[in-house]
Amino acid sequence: MSLPSALQKLASYRKNNTRASQETFKEGLVVLNAGGTNKLGDEGWAFLEQLALAAIDVGRLDVADRCLKQLGQKFPGSPRVDVLTGIRMEATESPSTVLNYYDELLRASPSNAAIWKRRISVLRRVGKIDKAVEELNEYLDTFYTDLEGWLELADVHSSCNQYQFALQALSHALLLSPQNPFTFLQFAETAYTAGDVPLALKMFLVVIDMNDGEDEDTIPLGISVRAWWGTKLCTRLLVSSSSTHTSSSNTSVPKNIKLIDELATERVLTAYSGEQGIQARGLVSKWMSGR
Partner 1 sequence: MSNNAVSLYLDPQIRDWVLFPITLVMILVGILRHYVVLLLQSPPKELSRAALREQRALARSQILRATAANSPIPTPFYTSISQHLSDAFAAGTYLKDGPPKGDSPSTPPNPISDPAAMDGMMSGMKTQMVMMVPQMIIMGWINFFFQGFVLIKLPFPLTLGFKSMLQRGIETPDMDVRWVSSLSWYFLNFFGLNGLYRLILGDGNSADSSRDMTTSPFAGGAPAAANPVQDYNKLFKAEKDNLEFSEGLHNWVGNDVENRVLRKYGKLAPAY
Shortest reach from residue 66's CB to partner 1, in Å: 28
Residue type, 88: R
Burial 96-123 (b: 16+ CB within 10 A, else e): eebbebbeebeeeeeebeebbbbbbebb
Exactly one of 256, 276, 279, 289 binds partner 1 (CB under 8 A); which one?
256
Burial 243-265 (b: 16+ CB within 10 A, else e): eebebeeebebeeebeebbebbb
What are phi and psi for residue 72, nearest 5 degrees? Answer: -65, -35
DSSP symbol at 49: H
Q: Is 117 in the site for partner 1 (CB under 8 A)?
A: no
Q: Are 187 and 203 in contact (CB under 8 A)?
A: yes
Exactly one of 215, 243, 275, 290 binds partner 1 (CB under 8 A); which one?
215
* Selected range binding partner 1 among 19-27, 129-137, 175-183, 281-289, rule: CB under 8 A: 175-183
Shortest reach from residue 282's CB to partner 1, in Å: 24
Please list, in sequence order, all residues whose beta carbon lies within 8 angstroms of the beta carbon of residue 163, skipping any fewer than 6 positions away: 157, 190, 191, 193, 194, 195
* Selected range binding partner 1 among 20-28, 54-62, 80-88, 194-202, rule: CB under 8 A: 194-202
Exactly one of 75, 143, 182, 287 binds partner 1 (CB under 8 A); which one?
143
Q: Is 208 in the site for partner 1 (CB under 8 A)?
A: yes
Positions touching partner 1 (CB under 8 A) are 109-111, 141-145, 167-168, 171-172, 174-176, 178, 184, 199, 201-203, 205-206, 208-209, 215-216, 249-251, 254, 256, 259-260, 262-263, 267
